[in-house]
Amino acid sequence: EVLQNHVLEAKVFHTEYGTGVAILTGAHRFTLTTNIDDLKLRRLPEVPGLQKRPSCWAVLCQDRVLVILLAVGQELYLLDNTSFTLVTPPELSPHAGAYLQMAVSFNYRYLALFTDTGYIWMGMSSLKEKLCEFNCDFRAPPKQMAWCKRPRSKQRAVVVAWDRRLLVAGDAKEGIQFVLDEDSCLVPELDGVRILSRSTHEFLHEIPEASKEIFRIASMAPGALLLEAQKEYEAASFGKCFIDKFPPESFVRTCRDLRVLNAIRDYQIGVPLTFSQYKQLTIEVLLDRLVLRRLYPLAIKICEYLRLSEIQGVSRILAHWACYKVQQKDKSDEEVAHAINQKLGDTPGISYSEIAARAYDCGRTELAIKLLEYEPRSGEQVPLLLKMKRSKLALSKAIESGDTDLVYTVVLHLKNELNRSTFFMTLQNQPVALSLYRQFCKHQEPETLKDLYNQDDNHQELGNLHVRSSYTSEKSMEGRVAELQDGVDEYYKAKNEFAAKATDDQIKLLRMQRRLQDDFDKPYLDYSLHDTVYNLILDGNHKRAEQLYRDFKIPDKRFWWLKISALAEREDWEEMEKFSKSKKSPIGYLPFVEICVKHHNRYEAKKFAPRVAPEQRVKAYILVGELDQAADTAIEHKSESELNLVLAKCTSSTDAAVAEKINRAKTQSLKK
């Protein structure tokens, strides 16, 4: 719509939400946005009966809502989001006539209206209260009108400008008139009005009470006296001596600020700011403006002078300078990079990567890479390097940073960017990246993992992979055996004979278990060798057990342990006795006693006790409860500790005889 109907007039305004623009289109409709950085257009409703352009209008801010005040002839309308209302300013002179110009104060609190009878109404912008009125002799429509007022001052005035005339109108009957030599333009400010013309720049503002007191003729105010004193002593801080406990900070701060203001007022800089404007603007914004005008040296001087922290001040400005510098196309990459590093060094808060990013944006990739070299945090270098397609360099930088996540980012980036073989080659030279990628493949791409190991002839790991998959992914017997067989081959290549042999045995065991499963219709698969044999004995299949014992060269000790435990669990005491006599037990006979006792068969246990080796026989007798025998053996051994052991087991009521026997033996041995 704006495009179709052309823009008749636009007004820029500033609120707490930012800078806004209001537009009046050729169709006499208003559109506005409150913040140009976050552009949301709001079209206000049509003004009924508005056929021609309003004579004047302004944007008001009432209770944080933006409305438009417009005048058509003698009528004044308020236009908001939804409605359109006719309003009348309170106590408006009945002879006012048609509105020609209006002005809203800087803070949106006051409104001034100028009519074709030369009448000026001044009041609150809420249109609820009139402050004063003023009649002047000029009827011609003024070119501009603006409020001139200091914050917190009671004095209010509007400045009205015609082609060559300026009128300051306020609460008094008489206005002040100035003659303008040139075409001028008024800019309302926080604390006054700027008057700009082609060759001059003036500032009109109310003189503060303090200044008035100083400079009034024959003033006796302290300030004036002080000024006189200063002339005498050339010491501005003279007065401060007369005040007890005067905090020096504010004095120093004010002096510094004044010097800054004087510096920027210099004609070469040309930023005449008043103190309150400067405070409103803040030093940061002022610095930004200086930087935008490339007044880097001045900005840095100011930072240093005001002792701003480096990150806030100098570094920021240097970074801006560097970003500007990289755009200078007439200098070589080396020169620029060198110049930047010379100036910046390693000032804290400087991000070389940001400057490099700017250089890259300007199409100077080589320069960007050179600048990145200066970036101390390798992590910061990586994203830009990737963007510039310097992936291999990015990879080394990422590894240097020690940040695994960053390495992953680059690796996976590389994976998509390079073809497979180059990708693998790149990884070969970067062990950290390689091991990380392996981790990734383990879960996500097992086949790739195989390729990776194949490439560097890592047969051990390949063997492990095959073996692992025979336990995890393969389900069929054939598949499992095949995987294991591959494992065996790889282990041989890796010269790991132990693993090859163990895996070979596992194939044999699997096949055997399969046969057992078929023969006995019981699950045997995935038992360990020990458990397989144990279960065979438990089921009384002694022959098959013996076969496995021989085939797999199970050590005798293990076989005896396992067999007696299985027989005991089966309570096959007959077989156990037979077995014990088959040949000399490699584990001795105490385990027989123990296992019988464990299964609560003292009767069987007693049979084995006499066969237990002498040094353990006492223990065996105690286990089976033959304390008398135990005592005899101990006496035979003449072993004090054994005697004590037996004695400890004796209970006074039942074993009194045994205890006595031991005590006797003990005293006898003592005598000797």
Partner 1 sequence: MSPLDRIANVSILKQHDVDKLYKVENKPVFSTSDQLCFLVRPRIRNVKYVADIVNADKAAGRTRKYKIIFSPQKFYTCEMVLEEEGIYGDVTCDEWSFYLLPLDDDIISMELPEFFRDYFLEGDQRWISAVARALQLLNSLFGPFTRTYGIGRCAKMAHEVWRELAEENEGDAQARKPEIGHVFLMDRDVDYVTALCSQVVYEGLVDDTFRIKCGSVDFGPDITSSDRSIKVLLNTQDKVFNEIRNEHFSNVFSFLSQKARKLQSQYDRRRGMDIKQMKNFVSQELKGLKHEHRLLSLHIGACESIMKKKTKQDFQELLKTEHSLLEGFDIRESTSFIEEHIDRQVSPIESLRLMCLLSITENGLIPKDYRSLKTQYLQSYGPEHLLTFHNLRRMGLLTEQAPGDTLTAMESKVSKLVTDRAAGKLTDAFSSLARKSNFRGISKKLGLIPHVDGEYNLKVPQDMAYVFSGAYVPLSCKIMEQVLERRGWLGLEDVVRLLNGNEFAVTDAGVEENPTWESQRVILAVFLGGCTFSEICALRFLGKERGYRFIFLTTAITSSGRLLEATMETVT
The least distance separating partner 1 from the CB of residue 634, rounded to whole angstroms, comes to: 18
Residue closer to partner 1 (CB basis): 82 or 472: 472
Binding region for partner 1 (CB under 8 A) out of 55-63, 285-293, 320-328, 561-569: 561-569
Residue pair 652/659 in contact (Cβ under 8 Å)? The answer is yes
Binding region for partner 1 (CB under 8 A) out of 57-65, 67-75, 285-293, 502-510: 502-510
d(CA 119, CA 139): 9
d(CA 276, CA 368): 42
The least distance separating partner 1 from the CB of residue 591, rounded to whole angstroms, comes to: 9
Q: How many CA atoms lie within 13 A of 215 on its CB side?
A: 6
347 binds partner 1 (CB under 8 A): no
Residue closer to partner 1 (CB basis): 331 or 377: 377
Residue 113: CB atoms within 10 A of its CB come to 26
Ranges of beta strands (E only) in 505-588 are none
The least distance separating partner 1 from the CB of residue 434, rounded to whole angstroms, comes to: 8
In the list 17, 324, 408, 573, the residue contacting partner 1 (rule: CB under 8 A) is 408
Q: How many CA atoms lie within 13 A of 113 on its CB side?
A: 33
d(CA 123, CA 69): 14
Instruction: Please report, as residue ranges, which positions from 450 to 469 form the binding site for partner 1 (by CB under 8 A).
Output: 460, 464, 467-468
The least distance separating partner 1 from the CB of residue 351, rounded to whole angstroms, comes to: 11
State the DSSP H helix or E strand holding residue 126, giving kind and residue range, or none if neither.
none
Diameter of the chain measured on Cα atoms:
147
d(CA 97, CA 478): 107
Instruction: Please report, as residue ranges, which positions from 125 to 144 form the binding site for partner 1 (by CB under 8 A).
Output: none
3-state secondary structure of 234: coil
414 binds partner 1 (CB under 8 A): no
In the list 45, 270, 431, 479, the residue contacting partner 1 (rule: CB under 8 A) is 431
207 binds partner 1 (CB under 8 A): no
Binding mask 284-323 for partner 1 (x = CB under 8 A): -------------------------x-x------------
Measured CA distances, 34 to 20, 31, 110, 188 (Å):
4, 10, 20, 20
Q: Provide the residue count of the chain.
A: 672
429 binds partner 1 (CB under 8 A): no
3-state secondary structure of 215: helix
Instruction: Please report, as residue ranges, which positions from 72 to 111 form the binding site for partner 1 (by CB under 8 A).
Output: none
Binding region for partner 1 (CB under 8 A) out of 162-170, 217-225, 295-303, 394-402: 394-402
Instruction: Please report, as residue ranges, which positions from 513 to 542 form the binding site for partner 1 (by CB under 8 A).
Output: 526-530
| DSSP conformation class of 46 | P
The rounded Cα 583 to chain-centroid distance in angstroms is 74
Query: Which of 333, 329, 299 is closest to 314 using CA atoms?
Result: 299
In the list 391, 503, 580, 633, the residue contacting partner 1 (rule: CB under 8 A) is 503
Residue pair 106/120 in contact (Cβ under 8 Å)? The answer is no
In the list 18, 90, 345, 402, the residue contacting partner 1 (rule: CB under 8 A) is 402
Instruction: Please report, as residue ranges, which positions from 369 to 388 form the binding site for partner 1 (by CB under 8 A).
Output: 377
In the list 8, 418, 502, 645, the residue contacting partner 1 (rule: CB under 8 A) is 502
The least distance separating partner 1 from the CB of residue 406, rounded to whole angstroms, comes to: 8
d(CA 303, CA 286): 11
Residue pair 188/147 in contact (Cβ under 8 Å)? The answer is yes
The least distance separating partner 1 from the CB of residue 506, rounded to whole angstroms, comes to: 4
d(CA 53, CA 9): 10
| DSSP conformation class of 331 | S
The least distance separating partner 1 from the CB of residue 566, rounded to whole angstroms, comes to: 12
Binding region for partner 1 (CB under 8 A) out of 151-159, 162-170, 434-442, 536-544: 434-442
d(CA 437, CA 452): 10
Residue closer to partner 1 (CB basis): 55 or 503: 503
- Under the phi-then-psi rule, with left for phi > 0, alpha for psi from -120 to 50, and beta for the rest, what region is 91? left
477 binds partner 1 (CB under 8 A): no
The least distance separating partner 1 from the CB of residue 401, rounded to whole angstroms, comes to: 9
Give the position of tokens 């004047």. 56
d(CA 127, CA 377): 60
Residue closer to partner 1 (CB basis): 276 or 496: 496
Residue closer to partner 1 (CB basis): 42 or 557: 557
Residue closer to partner 1 (CB basis): 262 or 472: 472
Residue closer to partner 1 (CB basis): 116 or 505: 505
Q: What share of the chain is helix, strand, coil (3-state, %, to 5)?
A: 50, 15, 30
d(CA 462, CA 456): 11
The least distance separating partner 1 from the CB of residue 246, rounded to whole angstroms, comes to: 28
499 binds partner 1 (CB under 8 A): yes
Instruction: Please report, as residue ranges, which positions from 619 to 648 form the binding site for partner 1 (by CB under 8 A).
Output: none
Give the position of tokens 């990567």. 353
In the list 200, 211, 439, 654, the residue contacting partner 1 (rule: CB under 8 A) is 439
45 binds partner 1 (CB under 8 A): no
Residue closer to partner 1 (CB basis): 310 or 539: 310
389 binds partner 1 (CB under 8 A): no
Show the CA angle centred on residue 250, arms to residues 245 and 253, nearest 5°. 145
Residue 658: CB atoms within 10 A of its CB come to 21
Residues found near partner 1 in the complex (CB under 8 A) = 309, 311, 348-349, 377, 399-400, 402-406, 408-409, 412, 431-432, 435-436, 439-440, 443-444, 460, 464, 467-468, 471-472, 498-499, 502-503, 505-506, 509, 526-530, 552, 554-555, 557-558, 561-562, 565
